[in-house]
């Protein structure tokens, strides 16, 4: 236990001091990994713990990103950069979740996918959201004595926020609520039969996951300084899904590993060939065939690390 | 109640009236397809009746979703073992025991700090004879132990009315005897409605017996009364 916490602390500190050790490009890669990692972790809460496979998680990433862009252009405070995007994503998740959790399996996948594509269609058309060009020139948050226009301060803010988000999720899956989610995943009708209002638990899980995804979207907007309708595209959800599976569903930490593997592979291979998706696809096929539990699953099998 | 449930043209329950007195142990017997499990499904809200209603403690529970029926104090076990197979015995029982508390909404709390469900789970494990198997995954238990846990999960919710759907199904004679002893040991405050094919179990447990046949009540009474009924012998006991 102490070893594990020490490892987590070392990782956080390592990520925080990374700019002192590496150049601009590796730092940007790390920042992307952290953002996609927390986004994938939020999806893992749904997939790996509650057993709800969603292909519409991009909706919340996009809502967070767009609301942050709109608000930060007006005023660069913490409300604009963090609270408002999180609240908007939570609200979107509440509405989408309310309808989607009524169905399960393939229907849940299709419904969440449809909702996220609706956002794509709307933002693609809406002139006040910059239509297909999106919103550009978004400033970064400046609040609480932080001026994240400074690269280092932004980095520390990013590492801090992602760490807090990850620890919250880590705590949630081990809480009584998290155990209820596992019960629902294992045997939903029996949970219903012993007295759990299953849909309410699923809805809360959906809202939590959506909120965290919204924060990831807000961070992403500030990282690149812009947001486009592509954030809502189903490929955004699909990539997060791949990251979760690569890392190992139901492991949380695996999602961060999966994000790292995905983004590193992408940047590595794409510097040699345009066809990086092909290489990634092959890697993914091999991984699913030979390590169906993902990277973490394979490690647990080898080293005997227990959950 | 006069419950009716039709599945298309098939009438699974046809005007069944059944009244279970508080603190009694009431058995429902009858040949396969008599509508026994359908009766349970209708009482617990898994299936809504085509006609009629269910009253519990003077209030209608018909139309309530299963979780709400469970929260009123009606709990059931299933004929086909219906557990959380990847979770431990303790976790199976703890989940069931925690269903009635607000503690299960805690996002940042710790599971082992929720005293009441944990204690209830331990008590239940003791009652169903699984105290030694707390950390075993439910999927790794023997069939007999899974049946014990099946009853345990239903019992851990602290029901006022416990519905047991063939708790001894597929059990060896020794396991059946152990299950019967366990059920006899349940506190009288728990009203029992039990579907059972083993007449020894029914005989030693039930205060009253209702015989279902083709979705209708054939007769009702004490076990001895029902046993002597020629019609019951003809449709059920003769073949059993």
DSSP assignments along A82-144, one per residue: IIHHHHHHHHHHHHHHHHHTTS-THHHHHHHHHHHHHHHHHHHH-GGGTGGG-EE-PPPPEET
Nearest to A195 among B91, B108, B157 (CB): B157
Interface contact A125, partner B, CB < 8 A = no
Taking the C-alpha atoms of residue A247 and residue A279, their distance in angstroms, rounded to an integer, is: 17
Give the angle A142-A16-A147 at the CA atoms, nearest 5°: 10
Of A177, A182, A196, which has the smallest distance from its Cβ to B107's Cβ?
Answer: A177
**Is A179 within 8 Å of chain B by CB?**
yes
A300 — contact with chain B (CB < 8 Å)? no
pLDDT above 60 (res B4) = no
Please report the pLDDT score of residue B11 as a whole number: 58
What span, in angstroms and rounded, lies between the C-alpha atoms of A217 and A67? Answer: 9
The domains of chain A are located at 2-303
pLDDT for residue A22:
84
Is residue B240's pLDDT more than 80?
no
Q: What is the pLDDT of residue B104?
A: 86
Which structural domains are found in chain B, ordered by start?
A: 3-73+159-237 (3.40.50.300), 83-144 (no CATH)
User: Given this model, what pLDDT does residue A292 score?
Assistant: 77
Q: Does A133 touch chain B (CB under 8 A)?
A: no
- Give yes or no for A307 touching B (CB within 8 A): no
pLDDT tens for each residue of B21-69:
888 999 999 888 888 888 899 999 998 888 888 888 888 888 899 999 9
Q: Which residue of chain A is at minimal alpha-carbon distance from B76?
A: A193
Asked if B84's CB is within 8 angstroms of A197's CB, the reply is no
What is the reported pLDDT for B239? 60
Q: Over 80: is that where the pLDDT of B169 sits?
A: yes
Q: Which chain A residues touch B94 with a CB distance below 8 Å?
A: 179
- Asked if B68's CB is within 8 angstroms of A197's CB, the reply is yes
Using alpha carbons, select from B108, B91, B95, B90 the residue that is nearest to residue B67.
B95
Evaluate if residue B7 carries a pLDDT over 70.
no
Does A193 lie at the interface with B, CB-CB under 8 angstroms? yes
Residue B3 pLDDT grade (very low, low, confident, very high; cuts 50, 70, 90): low
Q: How far B98 CA lies from chain A's nearest CA (Å)?
A: 9
Chosen for mutation from A194, A203, A204, A211 (greatest number of chain B CBs closer than 10 Å) is A194
For residue B23, give how far its alpha carbon lies from the nearest alpha carbon of chain A (Å).
21
Find, in chain A, the residue whose alpha carbon is nearest to that of B118.
Answer: A176
Q: Please list every residue in chain B whose beta carbon sits closer than 8 Å to the beta carbon of residue A174.
A: 110-111
Tell me, what's the pLDDT at B6?
55
**Global ipTM:** 0.89
> pLDDT digits over B150-163, tens only?
999 999 999 999 99
pLDDT at B1: 47
Average pLDDT over residues B167-180: 91
Instruction: State how far Cα A254 lies from the chain centre.
Output: 12
Q: Give the burial class of B129: count Cβ atoms within 10 A of its Cβ; 0-12 exposed, 13-18 middle, 19 or more buried.
A: middle
Residue A177 touches chain B, beta carbons under 8 Å: yes
Cβ neighbourhood burial of A301 (10 Å; 0-12, 13-18, 19+): exposed
Residue among B44, B83, B98 minimizing CB distance to A187: B83
pLDDT at residue A301, rounded to an integer: 67
d(CA A141, CA B26): 68
Q: Is the CB of residue B63 less than 8 Å from the CB of residue B48?
A: yes
**A102 part of contact set with chain B, CB < 8 Å:** no
**Which strand (E) or helix (H) includes residue B73?**
none
Residues of chain A with pLDDT under 70: 301-307
Of B66, B107, B156, nearest to A192 by CB-CB distance is B66
Which of A176, A198, A208 minimises the CB distance to B106?
Answer: A176
Q: Do residues B97 and B124 make contact, with C-beta atoms less than 8 angstroms apart?
A: yes
Residues of A in contact with B153 (CB under 8 A): 190, 194
Chain B residues with CB under 8 Å of a chain A CB are: 44, 46, 65-68, 70-71, 75-76, 78, 82-87, 91, 94-96, 98-100, 103-111, 114, 153-154, 156-157
Q: What is the CATH number of domain A2-303?
A: 1.10.3470
In this prediction, residue B102 carries a pLDDT of 77
Of B86, B95, B154, the CB nearest to A179: B95
Residue B71 pLDDT: 93
- Residue A46, min C-alpha distance to chain B (Å): 15
Helix (H/G/I), strand (E/B), else coil: A18: helix
Contact A176 B104 (CB under 8 A): yes
Nearest Cα residue in chain A from B156: A194
Query: How high is the pLDDT of residue B230?
Result: 80
CB B121 within 8 A of CB B138: no
Contact: A183, B105; criterion CB under 8 Å: no
What average pLDDT does chain B have?
Answer: 87
Say how far apart CA B68 and CA A87 lie, in whole Å.
31
In the A/B pair of chains, how many CB contacts fall below 8 A?
96
Query: DSSP 3-state assignment of A227?
Result: strand
Query: Quick check: helix, strand or coil at residue A73?
Result: helix
Res. B193: pLDDT tops 70: yes
């Amino acid at each position: 236990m102490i070893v594990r916490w020490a490892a987590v602390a070392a990782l956080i500190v390592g990520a925080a001091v990374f700019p002192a050790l590496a150049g601009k490009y590796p730092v940007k890669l790390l920042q992307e990994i952290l953002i996609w990692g927390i986004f994938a972790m939020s999806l893992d809460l749904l997939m790996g713990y509650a057993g709800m496979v969603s292909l519409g998680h991009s909706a919340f990433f996009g809502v967070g990103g767009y609301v942050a862009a709109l608000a930060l252009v007006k005023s660069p405070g913490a409300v604009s950069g963090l609270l408002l995007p999180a609240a908007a994503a939570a609200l979107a998740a509440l509405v989408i979740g309310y309808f989607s959790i009524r169905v399960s399996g393939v229907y849940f996948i299709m419904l969440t996918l449809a909702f996220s594509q609706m956002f794509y269609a709307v933002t693609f058309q809406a002139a006040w959201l910059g239509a297909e060009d999106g919103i550009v020139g978004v400033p970064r948050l400046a609040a609480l004595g932080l001026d994240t226009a400074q690269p280092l301060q932004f980095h520390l803010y990013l590492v801090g926020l992602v760490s807090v988000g990850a620890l919250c999720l880590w705590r949630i899956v081990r809480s009584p609520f998290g155990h209820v989610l596992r019960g629902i995943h294992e045997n939903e009708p029996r949970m219903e039969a012993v007295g759990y209002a299953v849909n309410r638990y699923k809805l809360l899980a959906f809202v939590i996951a959506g909120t965290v995804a919204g924060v990831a979207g807000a961070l992403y907007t500030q990282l690149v300084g812009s947001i486009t309708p592509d954030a809502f595209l189903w490929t955004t959800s699909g990539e997060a899904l791949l990251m979760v599976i690569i890392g190992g569903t139901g492991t949380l930490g695996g999602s961060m590993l999966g994000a790292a593997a995905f983004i590193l592979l992408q940047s590595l291979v794409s510097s040699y060939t345009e066809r990086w998706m092909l290489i990634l696809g092959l890697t993914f096929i091999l991984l699913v065939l030979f390590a169906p539990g993902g990277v973490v699953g394979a490690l647990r099998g080898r080293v005997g690390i227990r959950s | 109640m006069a419950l009716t449930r039709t599945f298309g043209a098939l009438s699974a329950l046809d005007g069944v009236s059944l009244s279970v007195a508080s603190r009694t142990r009431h058995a429902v017997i009858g040949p396969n397809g008599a509508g026994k499990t359908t009766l349970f499904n209708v009482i617990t809200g898994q299936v809504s009746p085509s006609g009629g209603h269910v009253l519990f403690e003077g209030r209608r529970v018909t139309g309530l979703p299963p979780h709400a029926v469970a929260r009123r104090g009606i709990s059931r076990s299933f004929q086909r073992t219906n557990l959380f197979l990847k979770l431990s015995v303790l976790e199976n029982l703890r989940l069931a025991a925690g269903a009635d508390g607000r503690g299960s909404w805690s996002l940042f709390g710790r599971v082992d700090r929720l005293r009441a469900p944990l204690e209830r789970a331990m008590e239940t494990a003791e009652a169903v004879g699984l105290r030694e198997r707390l950390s075993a995954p439910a999927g790794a238990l023997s069939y007999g132990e899974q049946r014990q846990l099946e009853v345990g999960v239903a019992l851990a919710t602290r029901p006022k009315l416990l519905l047991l759907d063939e708790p001894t199904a597929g059990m060896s004679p020794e396991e059946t005897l152990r299950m019967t002893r366990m059920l006899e040991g349940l506190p009288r405050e728990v009203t029992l409605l039990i579907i059972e094919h083993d007449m020894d179990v029914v005989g030693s447990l039930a205060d009253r017996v209702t015989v279902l046949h083709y979705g209708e009540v054939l007769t009702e009474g004490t076990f001895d009364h029902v046993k002597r009924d020629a019609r019951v012998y003809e449709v059920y006991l003769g073949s059993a």
